[in-house]
Amino acid sequence: MLENEVEIKSSAELLKTVEGLKNDGYRYATMICLKANEGHDLIYIFEKDYKLKNLRYYLKPGEKPKSVSGIYLCALLIENEYQDLFGLTFEGLAIDYKGHLYLTPNSPKTPLA
Amino acid sequence: MTTIIPFGPQHPVLPEPVSLKLEIDNDVVVGVLPSLGYVHRGLEKFIDTKDYNQTLYICERICGICSALHGVTYARAVEKLFDVEVPERAQYLRVIWGELNRIHSHLLWLGLFADGFGFESLFYECWKYRESVLDIMEMTVGNRVIHSMAKVGGTSKDLSKEHIDLILKTLDTLEPKIKDIEKVFVNNYTVKKRLVGLATMSKQLAYEAGTAGPTLRGSGNAIDVRETEDWDIYRDLDFKPVVEKDGDCYARTKVRIGELYESIKLVRNAISKLPNGEIAVPIKGSPTGEAIMRCEMPRGEVVYYVKGKGTKNLERLKIRTPTFANIPSLLLTLPGAKLADVPIIVLTIDPCISCTER
């Protein structure tokens, strides 16, 4: 568990919380994706006045995460990265590279999955 | 009617491959789509087969320009997992080599930038002065590019009295040279004509776009990770972030020039306060838990996430590099710009594709 971490239970709560953080003046830093149980943990990292705030959302196997790029445009690159590397499918991506941000059709599929 | 023009992946102003698909209407950019993936190395996967000490050498190879700081940041992240405090001398040594890293990175960028707007002799001057910093690196750590001075627990190299004399003498020679080139970058009519008012990002826009480093500070945001509690040592060194308000290409350039002087000051202050003592503490066991460590690289904030599982190998290493944070800002600054200005605008985020694609 990270410092200043909040557990998020649903994608609706995630979007609402991220929107609230933006309104509170938080800056989007990045998102971490790692394997957890059968699914994935997504850790969203925000920063304000040099303090980090981390949201952890457990993504169930087969669940499609909601993109936060509609709230923070800059999230689009990292979300596309995880489509490539973990095989996730983000719904509502501002620009969707469809699994080909880095990988070509002949590349290894979802190498971090 | 619009036309799609590919910018890159091979382009005279790009030292590394990145492609922008530019949608052009009557010589003006109306849309942009960045394309990556030309040099993706999969380093976050590669560490699966390396122990946490070997992983440091992988991290140093993420980027040839900010290699020292990648090593330091990774070491500090793992030290957080072990909950160890490195010796004070090692902390100062890391600052000295880290700031020298920043100086040669900014001089490299200034040279590339001068080349980008057609000032060839200025390009040569900047790179000539950068060589003197690389010479310091070679003399003090044995390598010009990959420095390998950081280790988990401290540093693997120390500075002798002769090294310190060399650094101070080089900086005394370098500082007036920087003042000379600064005059051209800041006062030259042609340079100002190309840069002032170009690709302006307001303070709010740069903040909300998640930008980092000089791109963020050039828009009036006084945000620099060296001010955080993870980097307490900088408070002892009289560190002040360099900030410009105007948010254009000219402002981003002035931030980097100002940071050259700031880094020279930091190196001198660190040397004057360099304590005696050990340079590393022994680390035993295997890392467990999760940690985040940030560091202010030459191009901006890098974020390291590490997760240990009680074995020698990390379970997960994730690195968010500054260029990765700055690329999306091009979606905001390029539309409305003239096609001829695209190279200059792209250069002012100081793109490092090697970092971005890890």
- Both tokens assigned to B300: 């901006």
Minimal CA separation from A23 to chain B, in Å: 10
Spell out which residues of chain B touch residue A73, defining contact as CB-CB under 8 Å. 209, 328, 331-332
Spell out which residues of chain A touch residue B331, defining contact as CB-CB under 8 Å. 73
Q: Which of A32, A49, A85 to mutate to test the interface with B (most CBs of B within 10 A)?
A: A32
Is A60 part of any domain?
yes
**Which segments within chain A are labelled E, that is strand?**
5-8, 27-36, 39-48, 51-59
Give me the pLDDT at residue A90, please: 95
Dihedrals φ, ψ of B293, to 5°? -130, 135
Task: Please state, in angstroms and rounded to a whole number, the distance separating the CA atoms of residues B153 and B157.
Answer: 12
Provide the β-strand partners of residue A66: A91
Q: Flag if B36 and A101 touch (Cβ within 8 Å).
A: yes
What confidence tens digit (pLDDT) does each residue in B171-204 have?
999 999 999 999 999 999 999 999 999 999 999 9
Contact between residue B43 and residue B313 where contact means Cβ atoms under 8 Å apart:
no
Give me the pLDDT at residue B101, please: 94
Is A80 part of any domain?
no
pLDDT average, residue stretch B40-60 = 89
B222 in contact with chain A, both atoms CB, cutoff 8 A: no
Q: In the CATH scheme, what is the code of domain B42-332? A: 1.10.645.10
Residue B352 in this model has a pLDDT that exceeds 90: no
pLDDT average, residue stretch A87-96 = 93
Task: Please state, in angstroms and rounded to a whole number, the distance separating the CA atoms of residues B264 and B102.
Answer: 10
Is A62 part of any domain?
yes
Number of domains comprising chain A: 1
Nearest CB among A103, A104, A112 relative to B44 is that of A112
Is A110 part of any domain?
no
Task: Please state, in angstroms and rounded to a whole number, the distance separating the CA atoms of residues B101 and B97.
Answer: 6
B209 in contact with chain A, both atoms CB, cutoff 8 A: yes
Task: Please state, in angstroms and rounded to a whole number, the distance separating the CA atoms of residues B208 and A72.
Answer: 7
Spell out which residues of chain B touch residue A75, defining contact as CB-CB under 8 Å. 210
Nearest CB among A45, A72, A102 relative to B40 is that of A102
pLDDT band, residue B319 (cuts 50/70/90): very high
Give me the pLDDT at residue A73, please: 92
Residue A48 in this model has a pLDDT that exceeds 90: yes
Give me the pLDDT at residue A100, please: 87
Q: Flag if A30 and B37 touch (Cβ within 8 Å).
A: no
- Both tokens assigned to B169: 């003498």
- Domain holding A41, by residue range, is 5-67
What angle in degrees, to the nearest 10, is found between the helix axes of B120-141 and B88-116?
Answer: 160
Spell out which residues of chain B touch residue A50, defining contact as CB-CB under 8 Å. 223, 225, 227-229
Distances (CA, A) of A36 to A61, A63, A67, B316: 10, 13, 20, 11
Residue B354 in this model has a pLDDT that exceeds 90: no
pLDDT average, residue stretch B1-19 = 87
Give me the pLDDT at residue A78, please: 95
What is the b/e burial string over B314-345, where b = at least 16 CB atoms within 10 angstroms of the residue's CB? bbbbbbbbbbbbbbbbbbbbbeebebebbbbb
CATH code of the domain containing A20: 3.10.180.10
Is A34 part of any domain?
yes
Minimal CA separation from A52 to chain B, in Å: 9
- The secondary structure of residue B340, as a DSSP letter, is G
Give me the pLDDT at residue A113, please: 81
- Token pair 């963020």 is at which residue? B216
**What is the dihedral sign for C-alpha B334, B338, B343, B345?**
negative
A6 in contact with chain B, both atoms CB, cutoff 8 A: no
Spell out which residues of chain A touch residue B229, defining contact as CB-CB under 8 Å. 50
B329 in contact with chain A, both atoms CB, cutoff 8 A: yes
Give me the pLDDT at residue B349, please: 87
Spell out which residues of chain B touch residue A104, defining contact as CB-CB under 8 Å. 37
- Token pair 């890391």 is at which residue? B94
**ipTM of the complex as predicted:** 0.94
Give me the pLDDT at residue B43, please: 85
Q: What is the mean pLDDT of chain B?
A: 93
Q: Flag if A32 and B229 touch (Cβ within 8 Å).
A: no
Minimal CA separation from A10 to chain B, in Å: 23
A48 in contact with chain B, both atoms CB, cutoff 8 A: no
Residue B253 in this model has a pLDDT that exceeds 90: yes
Give me the pLDDT at residue B355, please: 83
pLDDT average, residue stretch B267-295 = 95
User: Within 10 Å of residue A59's Cβ, how many Cβ atoms?
Assistant: 17
